[in-house]
Amino acid sequence: MRKIIECVPNFSEGRDTSKIERITAEVEKVPGVKLLDVASDAHHNRTVLTFVGGPESIKKASYNAIARAAEIIDMARHQGQHPRLGACDVCPFVPIQNVTVADCVAVANELAREVGEKLRIPVFLYEEAARFPERRDLASIRAGQYEGLEAKLKDSRWKPDYGPATFNRKSGATVIGAREFLIAYNVYLSTTHKETGHMIARIIRESGCMATADDGRRIRIPGIFKSVKAVGITPGEPGVAEVSVNLTNYRVAPMHFVFEKIKQLGQLGGASVLYSEIIGLVPKEAILKAGRFYRPRARSDKRLIEAAVRNLGLDSPQGFNPMAKIIEYLIGAP
């Protein structure tokens, strides 16, 4: 069986279709690589690509896309709701078939070296590729975002793993790494309270939130779910709040458990769920688990997927096409 690695780079451009097409073209022209999904969000001003291939071809396609993004995206002019650090904000590699996380770490290091040396972009390694414990977490590396990057690079503790420790005004910095499958999942709520999404995110995410103890000390209160990262975002649409969630291990924190908790917390604050959406792709197992939760007597994959889509609110407004969103169907895996 062939080796398959998935790459899911996030680019800081979600509005200019011509620029997005130029970046995706760099992926599509590499032999042995299959582009599976392109998800753009104008409000976030961000595009997430999903493509698969063997170790060498996936590295080449990733480098080409990052190089094109560095050429056409000017971070000094970038504005968007989603946290970001550079033109190619983050580029993770995920083992899919006949490869290990260690194989993905090797590809991440090779790509990071090329990006740092050839494009002169500071690169930080994260998750399984991280060389320092404080750099495993993407949020830690991204703290301060692009606007705080110049000052961050002057701190010796934040010397890049590859590339120059100098501020690249046009391209910012890039975070490259290896990880298990991540589900990017957004839940939208109907509410006029702007803080609703932020409040729910603080409660559900593993990192929780900071609070002041009785003696005046600042302490961290952990959140409900392990392997969950979340932020509250205020979309441009009036009366809507968004909880943007990353499920870093859907077996530890199943999507349906997180959704039900968000719905419950929203109801406590007078908010109702409008719909949810998956950004990029999702493993079939995650959808089937949700289907079994909502319809335990269903036996066929078709019925389980229908139950998951209906109860998670994935059928509105943009819909959910299993053949286009479930990764096993796209790569022909059982």
| pLDDT attached to residue 81 | 82
| pLDDT attached to residue 250 | 94
Active site residue 82: yes
Q: By CB neighbour count within 10 A (0-12 exposed, 13-18 middle, 19+ buried), where does 92 fall?
A: buried
β-partners of residue 52 are 6, 34
Please report which confidence band the pLDDT of residue 194 belongs to, taking 50, 70 and 90 as the band edges. Answer: confident
Nearest 5°: CA angle at 326, between 322 and 331?
A: 120
Round the average pLDDT of the chain to a whole number and report it.
94
| pLDDT attached to residue 220 | 93
Task: Write the DSSP assignment of 101-144 as a string of letters.
Answer: HHHHHHHHHHHHHHHHHHS---EEEEETT-SSGGGSSHHHHHTT
Quick: pLDDT tens for 132-184. Answer: 999 999 989 999 999 999 999 999 999 999 999 999 999 999 999 999 899 99
Cα–Cα distance for residue pair 266/260, rounded to 1 Å: 10
| pLDDT attached to residue 334 | 62
Catalytic residue among 44, 82, 193, 198: 82
Going by C-alpha positions, the residue among 4, 17, 121 that lies closest to residue 70 is 121
183-331 adopts what CATH topology? Alpha-Beta Plaits (3.30.70)
| pLDDT attached to residue 333 | 67
| pLDDT attached to residue 124 | 98
| pLDDT attached to residue 235 | 73
Going by C-alpha positions, the residue among 75, 45, 73, 90 that lies closest to residue 235 is 45
Cα–Cα distance for residue pair 207/202, rounded to 1 Å: 8
Q: By CB neighbour count within 10 A (0-12 exposed, 13-18 middle, 19+ buried), where does 168 fall?
A: buried
| Position 317 pLDDT exceeds 80 | no
β-partners of residue 302 are none
Tokens found for residue 247 = 């499920």
Q: Hey, where are the domains in the chain? A: 4-178, 183-331
pTM of the model: 0.78
Quick: pLDDT tens for 63-119. Answer: 999 999 999 999 999 998 889 999 999 999 999 989 999 999 999 999 999 999 999
Q: Give the C-alpha distances (Å, rounded to integers) separating 170 from 12, 71, 122, 146.
A: 12, 9, 12, 10
Instruction: Tell me the Cα Rg of the chain.
Output: 20
Lowest-pLDDT range of 7-16, 72-81, 196-205, 313-322: 313-322
| pLDDT attached to residue 290 | 98
- Identify whether the C-beta of residue 187 lies closer than 8 Å to the C-beta of residue 262: yes
Q: Supply the CATH classification number for the domain 4-178.
A: 3.30.990.10
Nearest 5°: CA angle at 271, between 267 and 272?
A: 80
- Residues 242-268 have a mean pLDDT of 96
